[in-house]
Chains A and B, each alone.
Chain A
Amino acid sequence: MSRDKTMTAEEVVGRLRSGMTIGVGGWGSRRKPMALVRALLRSDVTDLTVVSYGGPDVGLLAAAGKVRKLVAAFATLDSVPLEPHFGAARQRGAFELVELDEAMLMWGLTAAVHRLPFMPIRAGLASDVMTVNPSLRTVTSPYDDREELVAVPALRLDAALVHLNRADAHGNGQYLGPDPYFDDLFCEAADAAYVSCERIVETSELLKDAGPQSLLVKRAFVDGVVEAPNGAHFTSCAPDHDRDEAFQRAYVKAARDPEAWREFTARFLSGDEDAYQAAVAAFHEEEA
């Protein structure tokens, strides 16, 4: 029997250090490990390099001043195209940005997983991605075509944070929604990976309602498992819960005004995860 890796979100954050490079799974406002991000917000850990297909994870960490460098192709809330904290942070020059194309980011993670220094890709050539990242290099094909391609450097991570629908106590993670995003790559590219999930189940239960291809993350790459129901809130976590559009709208509205943001933070982000979930429930009772 392999070991039990269950832990709390606070224990996950206790293993993170200031200055680390942290990859965050999900995509935009979809299946983000928000309970882990909220625990990170409550900690002293800062000065982070964040690698993400960015959503409110990037926004919240940037608003809290925890991001030294962001590696991303975008930050968005999907149904709200522009992530307000990301935009404000960029406009005040709050962090260094490594702006890569979506496919370049995938290839950078893939190179890290495969323990390669880089992966070649056509994307980026001729665009200002090359201009704003002067350290990017090209590589010439050694074959007869002699094509010159971008060499996307490996994006090795100190830690990865992902949220899945189910996991067992040993770190086998399962997604039940339509898209795995890149969560397996994030885990495999990291020296330590932490999976939060809607529900921890017995290993024998994992395949009760889904096929083996739903087992996205393998325990060999996982160091900690956190049960966090509604832990992707307010992002979507299909089929367990949809995006909380009303709450996301309230987040956006508050983020656009410093005073409103202070109130939002006091109301939702000043306590632990249980307090957050209770405040969200109260929010919906008021809205109803």
Chain B
Amino acid sequence: MSGTDTPATATRAEYCVVACAEAWRDAGEVLASPMGTVPTIGARLAKLTFAPDLLLTDGEALLIADVPAVGAAPRVVEGWLPYRQHLAMVATGRRHVMMGASQLDRYGNQNISCIGDWARPRRQLLGVRGAPVNTLNNPTSYWVPKHSTRVFVERVDMVCGVGYDRAAAAGPSATRYHRLPDVISDLGVFDFETPDRTMRLRSLHPGVTVEEVGEATGFALTVPDEVPYTREPTAEELRLIRGEIDPKGLRDREVPS
């Protein structure tokens, strides 16, 4: 990519990549399990910069020692993680997953199973997959590429990933290892650092307003008096994203500029 093609400032997708990378900043020597293109780029950026101890997979059964471009094959394999070991790794807690969400409520309850009445859904989606085991065992963050009232809803139709209210109601075995650090969307970064563990706006991506977020959210968000902007990528981070991790610009397909 020539210098003249490179926008001087970061794109929305690149702010999202950096926000996703930040989710793994202090994760330590754990498996980063990103789902979606932007979180995958984010996890690789974190590993190449401030979180070098992270473990990454090839998306199937291999732990990779290098950090290839998205979609490229790894050159160095450092471990084996077939599904049964992956599920065991979840239970050890040595993993921070970033899942998608078809619906997400203010307490962080997540749905990827189906829309409508579960008994006969209006739209069948993936099924619960590993959301129940993830949320009760290892830190689980969420990535929503298109922030809207269809996703950020008052009530999810099927609780797959467990939110703070449901975990608390179920008791100590449910809360013991339950933690939802971040929700990242194309509009901003959110967390549950409120007294009642409901969702709070933590930062806006540059160019986004509080009003815009409010209109795209189907419940009342906690909005601090002063909301910071998501941090700028460094020049080195932009070079890594554009030149090494995602030279084909797949991030722009998930978050168009």
Contact = CB atoms under 8 A, between A and B. Distances in A.
A148 B173 contact: yes
A182 B84 CA distance: 7
Contacts of A124: 132-133
Nearest to A107: B87
Interface in B77-136: 80, 82-84, 87, 90-91, 113-114, 118-133, 135-136
B172 to A, nearest CB: 7
Interface stretch (B160-168, B189-197, B202-210, B248-256): B160-168
Interface residues on A, range: 35 or more
B128 A99 contact: yes
B159 A126 contact: yes
A44 interface: no
Contact of A82 (B87, B125, B161): B125
Interface stretch (A85-93, A186-194, A219-227, A256-264): A85-93
A90 B132 contact: no
Interface in A21-73: 27, 53-54, 72-73
B133 A128 contact: no
Contact of B127 (A73, A93, A103): A73
Given A103-B133, A123-B133, A178-B62, A81 B126 contact: yes
A53 B127 CA distance: 11
B137 interface: yes
Nearest to B172: A147
A122 B61 contact: no
B126 A82 contact: yes
A181 interface: yes
B169 interface: yes
Interface in A167-192: 178-182
Interface residues of B, number: 46
A121 B161 CA distance: 16
- Which of A53, A126, A147 has the largest number of chain B CB atoms within 10 A? A126
A101 B125 contact: no
A93 B119 CA distance: 7
B60 interface: yes
A103 B82 contact: no
Interface string B172-204: 111011000000000000000000000000000
A101 B131 contact: yes
B1 interface: no
Contact of A102 (B87, B122, B137): B87
B213 to A, nearest CB: 27
Given A122-B133, A122-B137, 20 more contacts: A53-B83, A54-B127, A72-B127, A81-B126, A91-B121, A99-B127, A101-B132, A103-B87, A103-B90, A123-B137, A125-B132, A125-B170, A126-B136, A126-B159, A127-B159, A127-B162, A178-B60, A178-B62, A179-B61, A181-B83
Interface of B: 60-62, 80, 82-84, 87, 90-91, 113-114, 118-133, 135-137, 158-162, 166-167, 169-174, 176-177
